[in-house]
Amino acid sequence: MASNSKMVSILIILMTFLSTKALAQCEDETNNPCNNKSKALPLKIIGIAAILITSIIGVCLPLITRSIPALSPDRSLFVIVKAFASGIILATGFMHVLPDSFDMLRSSCLADNPWHKFPFTGFFAMLSAIFTLMVDSMATSMYTSKNNAIAAEGGEVLTRDQEMAVASGGAMHFHGHNHGHQKGAIGQQLLRYRVVAMVLELGIVVHSIVIGLGLGASNDVCTIKPLVAALCFHQMFEGMGLGGCILQAEYKTVKKAAMAFFFSITTPFGITLGIALSKTYKENSPSSLITVGLLNASSAGLLIYMALVDLLAADFMGPKLQGSIKLQIKSYAAVLLGAGGMSLMTKWA
Q: Is residue 108 assigned to a domain?
A: yes
- What does the alpha-carbon distance between residue 219 and residue 223 come to, in Å, rounded to a whole number? 9
Q: How many domains does the chain have?
A: 1
Q: Is residue 20 assigned to a domain?
A: no
Model pLDDT, residue 279 = 78
Q: Which residues pair with 35 in a beta bridge?
A: 220
- The alpha-helical segments, DSSP class H, found in the chain are 2-27, 37-64, 76-91, 98-105, 112-115, 120-153, 155-161, 181-217, 221-249, 253-276, 286-305, 314-316, 319-322, 325-344
Q: Is residue 8 assigned to a domain?
A: no
CB 310 within 8 A of CB 252: no
Model pLDDT, residue 95 = 92
CB 120 within 8 A of CB 98: no
| Owning domain of residue 116 | 34-150+182-347
Q: Is residue 341 assigned to a domain?
A: yes
Q: What is the DSSP string of 189-244?
A: HHHHHHHHHHHHHHHHHHHHHHHHHHHHH--BHHHHHHHHHHHHHHHHHHHHHHHH
Q: Is residue 277 assigned to a domain?
A: yes
Q: How many Cα atoms sit within 13 Å of 41 on the Cβ side?
A: 7
Q: Is residue 322 assigned to a domain?
A: yes
Model pLDDT, residue 271 = 94
Q: How far is CA 276 from CA 73, 143, 299, in A?
A: 42, 40, 23
Q: Is residue 171 assigned to a domain?
A: no
Q: What share of the chain is helix, strand, coil (3-state, %, to 5)?
A: 80, 0, 20
Q: Is residue 45 assigned to a domain?
A: yes
Total residues belonging to the chain: 349
pLDDT, mean of each 10-residue run, the chain (349 residues): 51 43 51 78 94 94 79 84 92 92 92 93 96 91 80 51 40 41 56 89 87 87 86 88 90 92 94 87 84 91 93 92 95 96 82
Under DSSP, the state recorded for 311 is I
Model pLDDT, residue 75 = 86
Under DSSP, the state recorded for 32 is -
pTM listed for this prediction? 0.76
Does an H or E element contain 23, and which?
A: helix 2-27
